[in-house]
């Protein structure tokens, strides 16, 4: 099975587990845009469908390409990737679905933003809230959550505020963190495109190449 070349990250990454990073209080790496592809093989995982069974899904109901993204609302490369993923879903509406999962880093506003997004999901407004956070990422931690909620069309802001103050989203965030640890995620964004792991945001063109390759593989099966 052919694979696109692996991508070098800008800057070194320590070869340690996410759990060790968390215990040591080390900053979860924010992946820069990868450089051009090399000849080495991309990492693939077995039972990749498992990672798409939780999280927030948009796109095709029976996709040939499932993209699971581990993201951080305070990661500038995740912000760039968000628009690219929207473009992929629009370009391949019958073939591509995206699942968003949380992987907040050490920025003090990252986890609260993930909590707020999960609470918006309880009001069936995850994706609009996700978009509002990335559209005003510099205001996260400054602007009130009700302000983001208004932009996202969340009607019950009282329920949202109650959810944010409570501990109702801890299980979902912990599940995403564990899934990231199982996948050996070291930074954001990290994508699982069917069974292929792509670390860092390679740009829309390369993501399109991955999608086309996975569609070609599906057509042969």
Q: Decide: helix, strand or coil at residue 15.
A: coil
3-class state of residue 73 by DSSP: coil
156 in any annotated domain: yes
User: What's the confidence (pLDDT) of residue 27?
Assistant: 40
Render pLDDT for 107-154 as a digit per residue (tens, 0 to 9).
999 999 999 999 999 999 999 999 999 999 999 999 999 999 999 999
DSSP string for residues in 81-95? HHHHHHHHHHH-TTT
Model pLDDT for residues 165-197, shown as the tens digit of each residue: 988 899 999 999 999 999 999 999 999 999 999
15 lies in some domain: no
Percentage of the residues of the chain whose pLDDT score is greater than 90: 77
10 Å Cβ neighbour count for 189? 26
Please state the domain count of the chain.
Answer: 1
| CATH number for the domain harbouring residue 158 | 3.40.30.10
The verdict on residue 186 lying in a domain is yes
Q: Is 18 inside a domain boundary?
A: no
* Residue range(s) defining the domain that contains residue 146: 44-220
Does residue 20 sit within a domain?
no
Residue 160 lies in a domain: yes
Residue 34 covered by a domain: no
Instruction: Classify residue 104: in a domain, yes or no.
Output: yes
CA 144-162-27 angle, to 5 degrees, is 60
Burial environment of residue 185 by CB neighbours within 10 A (0 to 12, 13 to 18, 19 or more)? buried
**Model pLDDT, residue 41:** 54
């Amino acid at each position: 099975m052919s694979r696109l070349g692996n991508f070098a990250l800008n800057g070194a990454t320590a070869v340690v587990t996410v759990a060790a990073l968390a215990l040591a209080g080390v900053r979860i790496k924010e992946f820069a845009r990868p450089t051009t592809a090399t000849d080495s093989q991309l990492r693939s995982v077995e039972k990749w469908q498992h990672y798409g069974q939780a999280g927030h899904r948009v796109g095709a109901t029976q996709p040939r390409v499932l993209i699971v993204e581990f993201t951080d609302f305070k990661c500038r490369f995740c912000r760039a990737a968000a628009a690219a993923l929207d473009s992929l879903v629009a370009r391949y509406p019958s073939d591509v679905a995206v699942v968003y999962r949380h992987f907040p880093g050490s920025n003090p506003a990252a986890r609260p933003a993930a909590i707020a997004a999960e609470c918006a999901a309880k009001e069936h407004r995850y994706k609009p809230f996700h978009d509002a956070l990335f559209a005003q990422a510099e205001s996260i931690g400054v602007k009130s959550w009700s302000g983001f909620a208004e932009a996202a069309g969340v009607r019950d802001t009282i329920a949202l505020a109650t959810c944010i103050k409570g501990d109702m989203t801890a299980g979902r965030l912990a599940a995403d963190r564990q899934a990231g640890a199982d996948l050996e995620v070291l930074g954001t964004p990290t994508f699982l495109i069917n069974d292929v792991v792509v670390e860092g945001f390679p740009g829309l063109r390369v993501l399109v190449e991955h999608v086309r390759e996975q569609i070609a593989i599906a057509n042969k099966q």
